[in-house]
Amino acid sequence: MSEAIEASTPDVEAAPAPTKVKAENVDVFYAEKQALFGVSLDVRENEVTALIGPSGCGKSTFLRCINRMNDTIPICRVTGDIAIDEQDIYDPSIDVVQLRARVGMVFQKPNPFPKSIYENVAYGPRIHGMAQGKADIDDLVESSLQRAGLWDEVKDRLGEPGTGLSGGQQQRLCIARAIAVNPDVILMDEPCSALDPIATARIEELMDELRQNYTIMIVTHSMQQAARVSQRTAFFHLGYLVESGPTEMIFTNPDDKRTQDYITGRFG
Amino acid sequence: MTDFTANQAVARKPDFSDAHLRKRYRAEARFRMYGIAAIFAALAMLAVLLGSIVTTGVSAFTQTEIALDVTLDSSQIDPAAIAKGNYRKIVRDAIRAQFPDVSGRRDLRNLYKIVSSGADFTLRRMVEADPSLIGTTRTVWFKSSADIDQLNKGAIPRDVPEADRRVNDDQIAWFDALSGDDRTRRSFNTTFFTSGDSREPEQAGVWGAVVGTALTLLVTLVLSFPVGVMAAVYLEEFAPKNRWTDLIEVNINNLAAVPSIVFGLLGLAVFLNFFGMPRSAPVVGGMVLALMTLPTVIIAGRAALQSVPPSIREAALGVGASPLQTVSHHVLPLAMPGILTGTIIGMARALGETAPLLMIGMVAFIVDIPRGFTDAATVLPVQVFLWADAPERAFVERTSAAIMVLLAFLIVMNLAAVLLRRKFERRW
């Protein structure tokens, strides 16, 4: 994380990572009630971007716009532009199902399918035609579980139900399931809030490894977690994006007073 | 009365006294007793119901038979035309051989009435199966007539005056003589399970009704299950939530409560009169019952789909499954146990329905076993209804026996449902 700060020295200025997800002036309405007001945010490739803020400020709502999960809520209306790799994802010609294969999601409460561990991970590749034949799928399952850091614990019991694992293992299974389809972006909605500290630490380690191959956006209630895992942080408050920037800067020297109040614990 | 101002500092505590505790225990014991009494009442009613049916019907599973020595004289049966042999005379000669001194037309008629009128056909079928029997004499067991059968089972009391019974004193004497000679027995009533309806009780059976029921219910299942499940899936997962879908839901709920005879009238008006489909056929009966069962399947299906947690759907959508894939790969398998329960409830109701089928003509007296979906048929509840109305004494026990067969059918269906549900059950 400190590499991002040292890069500001003139001689070894590293080019900023390209923008993967670009949100411009995004408004979200639930029936008549507006939940997000003109949110504009750039998410850089192969970085972990944390969205922080008090409860009900719209961070999860914004996250769910990126993979258009808000479409499943009939009263929800999204306006503005969100582009991934410079392609507007709300364009009518975009197939939502394919979008969700490119943008994976891990939910707050681990929700593995009530199938075997193998089937959980194999389902995505199977429906997207990513593998031919059982050997192919076996390889894919193994590599996904390896990258999620779960392989050693479950390699002898792939046929057992995914719901029989512990909470932390279930969440890692959900991460394996998400990365099995090789998405470009992984969205994580408070992935550790239902887990104990040790499981949380393992998943945070995992995020650091994963960001080398994926772009990660994480919503978190814990400022310490945001400080630990992310390179950039965005602070939301009452539906507005108050401030965003490099994590170190947000936590040591924020521009906005509301950000200052939040991180020092005055509210939230 | 406590003085509040003085005792404000003393906090109130719950009443932990013995009397209070005993009052609660008594109330709980009373509640437990009500529950147990309710269970006992239900079981007692069930026992009385089943008991009365079984005690009345179990005697129908046996049939009195009489042994006669028949001489298959080749002068009576031409080997080239076995079907045209004079079997009636052969049987009558055999009866007379047992009681040579009976004479006079009236007495002889009474004598012949001891044996079932179907004895001729029994003998004919025997010879057709084995023509080498022609020219031999052998002892054959024939079914007795229904009245003698009832006498033997004790349903016709011997001590009432002769004018009040269906069998007169002579017939009783003849039968007793045969019994004394070990020429009577009660054997298992296979006819009951293998033949169709008949005017003569001893030749009547439920097999025609069983086949009719099976064919009709098959049509009902094939029509109501797929359509009902698809409708439930569409209404629950894909349909937009607006006034039209609300209207549809209200109407489906109401249809589930419509009296079944209305569906029968609909079947009569539309299927028989407008489309001209064959009257009394399983295909029409199945369609009528399917209309009746559909609302039940749809309502149970929707409830089962609603009970699947939304997190499953979100997880599937999140991995890039289309709405159709989400429903068919994840939601529907989890909802299957509930859907199957609803289907079996609907089918069990359809099994016992008589009124709508009467409307489409299944009240006819059908003797043949139906061979296809368009042959005229009857169903078990209608058969019970017809026999309950029949005047012959022997049909009383057969009615109860048919009810037992109907209940056995129901148990088999429920068993199938339990097994299917267990196969689909998953923990999550």
Interval B329-385: pLDDT, tens: 999 999 998 998 889 889 988 998 888 998 888 877 888 888 888 888 889 999 999
Spell out the long-range contacts of B176-182 with Cβ–Cβ below 8 A and sequence spacing 24 or more.
Answer: B177/B98, B177/B99, B178/B66, B178/B98, B178/B114, B182/B67
Q: Which residues of B touch A114 (CB under 8 A)?
A: 312, 334, 426-428
pLDDT of residue A7: 45
| Gap between the Cα atoms of B188 and A5, Å rounded | 97
Residue of B119, B90, B88, B106 whose CA lies nearest to B170: B106
Coil vs helix vs strand at B403: helix
List, in sequence order, every residue forming a beta bridge with A87; answer none if it has no partner.
Answer: A84
Candidates B319, B327, B328, B425, partner chain A, best to mutate (most A CBs within 10 A): B319
Q: What is the mean pLDDT of residues B162-185?
A: 86
**B424: pLDDT strictly greater than 90:** no
Spatial strand order of the sheet with A76-84 comes to A33-44, A19-30, A76-84, A87-88
Angle, in degrees to the nearest 10, between helices B169-180 and B105-112: 50
| Gap between the Cα atoms of B32 and B27, Å rounded | 9
CB contact under 8 Å between A107 and B318, yes or no, is yes
Strand A87-88 versus strand A232-237 pairing type: unpaired
CB contact under 8 Å between B311 and A107, yes or no, is yes
**Tens of pLDDT, residues B55-95:** 999 999 999 999 999 888 888 878 788 888 888 888 998 99
* Residue among B311, B317, B428 whose CB faces A109 most closely: B311
| Gap between the Cα atoms of B330 and B309, Å rounded | 11
pLDDT of residue B227: 96
**Tens of pLDDT, residues B6-61:** 556 678 888 889 999 999 999 999 999 999 999 999 999 999 999 999 999 999 99
CB contact under 8 Å between B319 and A74, yes or no, is no
| Gap between the Cα atoms of B252 and B255, Å rounded | 5
Q: Which of residues 40-79 of A touch B (CB under 8 A)?
A: 67, 69, 72, 74
The answer to whether the beta carbons of residues B281 and B379 sit under 8 Å apart is no
Query: Residue B240's closest chain A neighbor by CA?
Result: A74
* Residue among A105, A128, A161 whose CB faces B318 most closely: A105
Q: Which of residues 148-207 of A touch B (CB under 8 A)?
A: 161, 163, 174, 177-178, 181
pLDDT of residue A6: 46
| Gap between the Cα atoms of A34 and A27, Å rounded | 7
Candidates A107, A109, A127, A165, partner chain B, best to mutate (most B CBs within 10 A): A127
The answer to whether the beta carbons of residues A41 and A234 sit under 8 Å apart is yes
CB contact under 8 Å between B319 and A178, yes or no, is yes
pLDDT of residue A241: 94
List, in sequence order, every residue forming a beta bridge with A40; answer none if it has no partner.
Answer: none
The answer to whether the beta carbons of residues B334 and B305 sit under 8 Å apart is no
Parts of chain A with a pLDDT under 70: 1-14, 268
pLDDT of residue B9: 63
Helix (H) or strand (E) holding B390: none
Distance from the B290 Cα atom to the nearest Cα atom in chain A, whole angstroms: 33
Band of residue B167 on the pLDDT scale cut at 50, 70, 90: confident
- Parent domain of A192: 19-110+184-263
Q: Kindly report the average pLDDT of chain B as a whole number.
A: 89
Amino acid at A114: P
pLDDT of residue B72: 85
What's the domain count of chain A? 1
Q: Is residue A38 part of a domain?
A: yes
The answer to whether the beta carbons of residues B201 and B146 sit under 8 Å apart is yes
pLDDT of residue B341: 86
The answer to whether the beta carbons of residues A105 and B316 sit under 8 Å apart is no
CB contact under 8 Å between A111 and B314, yes or no, is yes
Residue of A104, A91, A111, A123 whose CA lies nearest to A183: A104
CB contact under 8 Å between A111 and B240, yes or no, is no
Query: Residue A181's closest chain B neighbor by CA?
Result: B319
Q: Where are the beta strands (DSSP E) in chain A?
A: 19-30, 33-44, 48-52, 76-84, 87-88, 103-106, 185-189, 215-219, 232-237, 240-246
The answer to whether the beta carbons of residues B336 and B424 sit under 8 Å apart is yes
| Gap between the Cα atoms of B202 and B64, Å rounded | 9
Query: Would an 8 Å CB–CB cutoff place A121 in contact with chain B?
Result: no
* Residue among B241, B314, B428 whose CB faces A114 most closely: B428
Please state which CATH class domain B207-424 belongs to.
mainly alpha
**B148: pLDDT strictly greater than 50:** yes
CB contact under 8 Å between A69 and B314, yes or no, is yes
B151: phi then psi, degrees, rounded to nearest 5: -60, -45
Phi-psi region of B149 (alpha: psi -120 to 50; beta: other; left: phi over 0): alpha
Q: Which residues of A touch B320 (CB under 8 A)?
A: 97-98, 100-102, 104, 124, 127-128, 181
**Tens of pLDDT, residues B237-256:** 999 889 999 999 999 999 99
Query: Which residues have CB under 8 Å from B386's CB, separation 6+?
Result: B197, B363, B365, B378
**Tens of pLDDT, residues B102-113:** 888 988 888 888
**B216: pLDDT strictly greater than 50:** yes
Query: Which residues have CB under 8 Å from A256's CB, separation 6+?
Result: A235, A242, A243
The answer to whether the beta carbons of residues B264 and B304 sit under 8 Å apart is no
Band of residue B4 on the pLDDT scale cut at 50, 70, 90: low
Number of CB pairs, chain A paired with chain B, less than 8 A apart: 66
HEC states along B321-360?
CCHHHHHHHHHHHHHHHHHHHHHHHHHHHHHCCCHHHHHC
Please state the length of chain A: 268
pLDDT of residue B221: 94
**B300: pLDDT strictly greater than 90:** yes
Identify how many contiguous H helices and E strands chain B contains and give both numbers. Answer: 18, 3
**B127: pLDDT strictly greater than 60:** yes
Q: What is the CA radius of gyration of chain B?
A: 32
> Which residues in A80-97 are b (16+ Cβ under 10 Å) and which e?
bebbbeeeebbeeeeebb
Q: Which residues of A touch B327 (CB under 8 A)?
A: none
List, in sequence order, every residue forming a beta bridge with A26; answer none if it has no partner.
Answer: A39
Tokens for B113? 């009435």
* Residue among A102, A113, A127 whose CB faces B315 most closely: A113
pLDDT of residue A12: 47
Tokens for A258? 């509301």
Q: What is the mean pLDDT of residues B213-241?
A: 94
The answer to whether the beta carbons of residues B380 and B193 sit under 8 Å apart is no
* Residue among A97, A106, A163 whose CB faces B320 most closely: A97
Percent of chain B, pLDDT > 70? 97
User: Is the ipTM, as predicted for this complex, more than 0.95?
Assistant: no
CB contact under 8 Å between A123 and B329, yes or no, is yes
